[in-house]
A and B are shown apart, each in its own frame.
Chain A
């Protein structure tokens, strides 16, 4: 299998006029799980939002090709409908919108995009109950307002539930492990592992090697100052855990010198 899902070449981007990405290259193929690690401010969350189409970020150069098409020409919702899913680091709380209604609206938007008939409420409830299993969520969550008053772990499980429903080709998990206790981390990770198959791909953004104990990536990349400076297999994560990110400073300093 060598179907390329995502290909990023020399991507540069600004936020409020400040360069944040300074030339990112990344290729993700079907069936692969990649992890990007790095310090706060290295640009890894920015990269995830740019792939998902956040309008606040200005792409200044390079390209992102998704399934052979120029992704940068598409609006955020078109990217979502084409199979890109970003699980948020901080999922938003939307009081007044029931979780169930929201999930149905999102699912129906996808059906409509595919030229299919919208699903009715009863059929949808059957569908979503099966998906609840993936993240071991109590059906009572469906009746509550979207993410309102959810704990950190509940919000993240809700993100994975949405992903399980929408079945993306590319799932991007932005610090899905932050704020999770070990039980919630296990549930979330097992959810992702159940969803992974040879036709789709995942990109994990994380600070910590801990997540990679549960979801095993084939590729680990280290981001530093807006670039991917090192790539390797899963052992790279362990190495980082051992040495910390300080070696990067030395390496960059040496490079400059």
Chain B
């Protein structure tokens, strides 16, 4: 069996190779992919990959004995023989499903993790902003990107390290100081499943320099026949997005996970917020048979504002896990988090939200709420809101609710002339609307509202 470059490197760094055998095939796949280099990144990108491989080799494959993976079984990743997803393209009609009219000229597309310039168009975007892939970045900026790429992911879980080990191409969104961009920027990662299970990686870095403002739509979908919910092809997408919101900058971030119905997504999003910055996220998890989104946010300066809104909607045999960790480290930080789950069929949704308020994060105002709506007797919810407070002058609340549609609510609507079916739908749509209404891009909002309605048709 041949030994790859990084295994040699690992062996050199460490006399005993500790690689968990169940991680070896995934690591080998990651390393197989040829990275997109350019003049500014050639040197450090190889180092990122080697370091990532090194970290993978010192970690174990997560099992249900690990607290962070206690209720989410990812053993399918170990048991499945994945091949590297092809460097391929899609038909232009396959793009139509994902295209948004508002972002026709402010969009970058990646297919199986690799930049697809033929579908990307950034002509509507102003100067002072780079939106593209790693290769298109100037040598100077690419050299500077070493200060960002992997600087957060290196502290995350084994899947983030796996992504580091296999970085091939990177979506880069980089706004100069004081550049305010109202135009939403669509970062579209399209997977192309095959009959045999394939693995792919998606990577994104977004940097809002001080005083700048960005609206990002990060979208994960699968190019399939018909509605991707019903697709039968197993694949694995390992995603990492690192976000920097510099002093007094703002990012409105929408993250939509709409992988194919038999796909698996393990995603990491890490956000570093500087003083006086504002970060607003709306995440929607609808696709994939198994999905996990781990969000790690650090408030690295005072007066930092964080708003996190999430909607998970699962049915059938789906499992969707959202783990968030918000670390406040400075005074006057605010966190407003609302995560809602609609769970139907035999599906399972998991929410674990941690907010850490250490001693120096005084005058913090943190609110976290997880609300769950169960639509079937077999649906299952695991929720764990966690507040860790050491500071003594703070205002913090957290909570979780699990409910079904109330008979009295349905009767109220029926007594106004709505039939039972319409009444149920109105209530489900309303539950989702509280999150979806925070998405200020009308065609995206409408599309998601329709998906919610379509999925609850009996």
Contact = CB atoms under 8 A, between A and B. Distances in A.
Contacts of B416: 80, 102, 106, 109, 162, 166
Interface in A98-150: 102, 105-106, 109-110, 113, 145
Contacts of B426: 94, 97, 102, 105
B418 A106 contact: yes
Contacts of A80: 414-417
Contacts of A52: 415
B382 interface: no
Interface string B396-422: 000000000011110111111111101
A76 B409 contact: no
A96 B431 contact: yes
A76 B414 contact: yes
A236 to B, nearest CB: 29
B417 A81 contact: yes
Contact of B415 (A53, A56, A96): A53
15 contacts: A55-B407, A75-B419, A76-B415, A77-B414, A80-B414, A85-B415, A86-B415, A88-B415, A94-B426, A96-B431, A96-B434, A97-B427, A97-B430, A105-B426, A145-B430
Given A56-B407, A80-B417, A91 B429 contact: no
B71 interface: no
Contacts of A166: 416-417
Contacts of A91: 412
A86 B417 CA distance: 11
Interface string A44-83: 0000000011111000000000000000000111011100
A77 B419 contact: yes
Interface of B: 406-409, 411-420, 422, 426-427, 429-434, 437
A106 B407 contact: no
Contacts of B417: 77, 80-81, 106, 109-110, 113, 166
A234 B266 CA distance: 71
A97 B417 CA distance: 16
A95 B417 CA distance: 19
Contacts of A53: 414-415
B418 A92 contact: no
A176 to B, nearest CB: 15
A162 B412 CA distance: 12
Contacts of B418: 77, 105-106, 109
Contacts of B430: 94-97, 145
Contacts of A88: 412, 415
Interface string A188-225: 00000000000000000000000000000000000000
Nearest to A106: B416
A81, A86, A88, A96: residue with the most chain B Cβ atoms closer than 10 Å: A96
Nearest to B430: A96
Chain B facing A: main interface SS: helix
Given A76-B415, A102-B416, 5 more contacts: A76-B411, A96-B432, A97-B426, A102-B426, A162-B416
Given A55-B407, A77-B420, A96 B414 contact: no
A55 B418 CA distance: 15
B414 A92 contact: no
Nearest to A146: B430
B418, B420, B429: residue with the most chain A Cβ atoms closer than 10 Å: B418
Contacts of A55: 407, 411
Contact of A95 (B407, B415, B434): B434
A162 B418 CA distance: 14
Contacts of A81: 417
A94 B424 CA distance: 12
Contacts of B422: 105, 109
Contacts of B432: 96
Nearest to A165: B416
Nearest 10 interchain pairs by C-beta: A96-B430, A109-B417, A76-B414, A106-B416, A96-B433, A80-B417, A97-B430, A92-B412, A77-B414, A96-B434
A85 B414 CA distance: 11
B408, B414, B419, B420: residue with the most chain A Cβ atoms closer than 10 Å: B414
A111 B417 CA distance: 10
B427 A94 contact: yes
Contacts of A105: 418, 422, 426
Contacts of A106: 416-418
A96 B407 contact: no
B91 to A, nearest CB: 38
Contact of B429 (A79, A92, A96, A145): A96
A145 B426 CA distance: 13
A145 B406 CA distance: 18
B409, B413, B431: residue with the most chain A Cβ atoms closer than 10 Å: B413
B231 to A, nearest CB: 30
A227 B283 CA distance: 56
A238 to B, nearest CB: 32
A101 to B, nearest CB: 9
Contacts of B411: 54-56, 76
A98 B422 CA distance: 16
B432 to A, nearest CB: 8
A145 B412 CA distance: 15
B282 to A, nearest CB: 15
Contacts of B427: 94, 97
A77 B424 CA distance: 13
A94 B427 CA distance: 7
A79 B417 CA distance: 8
Nearest to B411: A54
Contacts of B437: 96
B407, B414, B415, B432: residue with the most chain A Cβ atoms closer than 10 Å: B415
A110 B415 CA distance: 12
A92 B415 contact: no
